[in-house]
Amino acid sequence: MAFPFLSPLHGFLFATFVLCVAGHADALELKPFRDDLFAYPAALSSDTNGVYTVLDYREMRDINQRDEVPEKRVHPQYTDTSVRKVQQDLLLKTDAGDVRHVAVGKTQGAGIIVLYLHGQGGSRKQGVDDFTFGGNFNRIKNLMAGNGGLYLTPDFTDFGDKGAAQVAALVEHYAAQSPGAKIFVACGSMGGALCWKLAGRKDTGGRINGLLLLGSLWDESFLASPAFKRRVPVFFGQGSHDVVFPIANQEAFFRSILARSKTYPTRFVRFETGTHGTPIRMIDWRGTLNWMLSKAP
């Protein structure tokens, strides 16, 4: 298409801009990895733009048929363990203490960084276990490795300020190695306490680009945080039968975000009949992260 109103110089600049935008868009969309196997089950209900969705989760199908050994080992077709070739167990020394962590993918020059923060009783090893949670951790590993990204799963001292300082130091280190990366933090269960603390810190709250709460808790202080002011996307995944963190509380908090801003980039997926660990098993990493990349500040 010609643009006769542009001078040669302006035409060159315009074409360069278009190419840059196109390249940027391409770089910020994750390519598929076994999408058919990890697709969400049927929606029981959903609003028009997918802000709140109820999914038809079934234990017999989504655990017993998917796993070779229920809750311990998924069927082989769900995993590709060759990704272990780019997996490292590392130690980062920080002012907040030593941070042991597993890194999968590009530790420098990554285009996207995803952290997974475990819950009570977990460790850095949970988030890189290829076979538990229906192979979903293997999928995020492969998505990051296959898209020029980095996946991190750290240990931390606690779910309070010290733990948050350790995770913040990890974020700062790898952000410096990949200054152009979008950074997303996924928190399972009690790990959500760290998600909210990171959002409230001046450093990480001003740097992270999205939060994923998986069977986790709520924190009203988020509504006054640097991350909220930047309109950082937030995803909630919750089982309707979660007895650790009742879904009614998380849904109420989700609605409080929309009450502040009807257009705030947030989504809630309710796994009907799902329990505490269901969102970790069932989250569609690629679909969720691509949505977040499209909304990230």
Using the predicted structure, report yes or no on whether residue 16 has a pLDDT greater than 80: no
Task: Write the pLDDT tens digit of every residue in 236-288.
Answer: 999 999 999 999 999 999 999 999 999 999 999 999 999 999 999 999 999 99
3-state helix, strand and coil shares in percent for the chain, rounded to the nearest 5? 45, 20, 35
Which whole number is the average pLDDT over 190-218? 98
Residue whose tokens read 């802000």: 51
Which secondary-structure segment (H or E) carries 160? Answer: none
pTM: 0.91
Report in angstroms the alpha-carbon separations of 288 from 48, 75, 292.
17, 24, 6
Task: Write the pLDDT tens digit of every residue in 79-108.
Answer: 999 999 999 999 999 999 999 999 999 999
- The answer to whether the beta carbons of residues 283 and 19 sit under 8 Å apart is no
Q: pLDDT category, 20, cuts 50, 70, 90?
A: very low
Question: Which letter, b or e, does each residue of 117-134 get, where b requires 16 or more Cβ atoms within 10 Å of its Cβ?
Answer: bbbeebebebbbbbbbbb
Report in angstroms the alpha-carbon separations of 48 from 42, 45, 51, 53, 236.
15, 10, 8, 10, 18
Q: What is the pLDDT of residue 293?
A: 98
**Residue from 297, 282, 286, 254 nearest 114 by CA:** 286
| Gap between the Cα atoms of 88 and 215, Å rounded | 27
| Gap between the Cα atoms of 162 and 73, Å rounded | 34
Q: pLDDT category, 134, cuts 50, 70, 90?
A: very high
Per the model's pLDDT, the better-predicted residue between 150 and 21 turns out to be 150
Could you tell me the two tokens for 258? Answer: 């929309």
Domain locations along the chain = 1-30, 33-295
**Residue from 72, 56, 55 nearest 64 by CA:** 72
Instruction: Determine whether domain 33-295 maps to CATH 3.60.10.10.
Output: no
Q: pLDDT averaged over the chain? A: 92
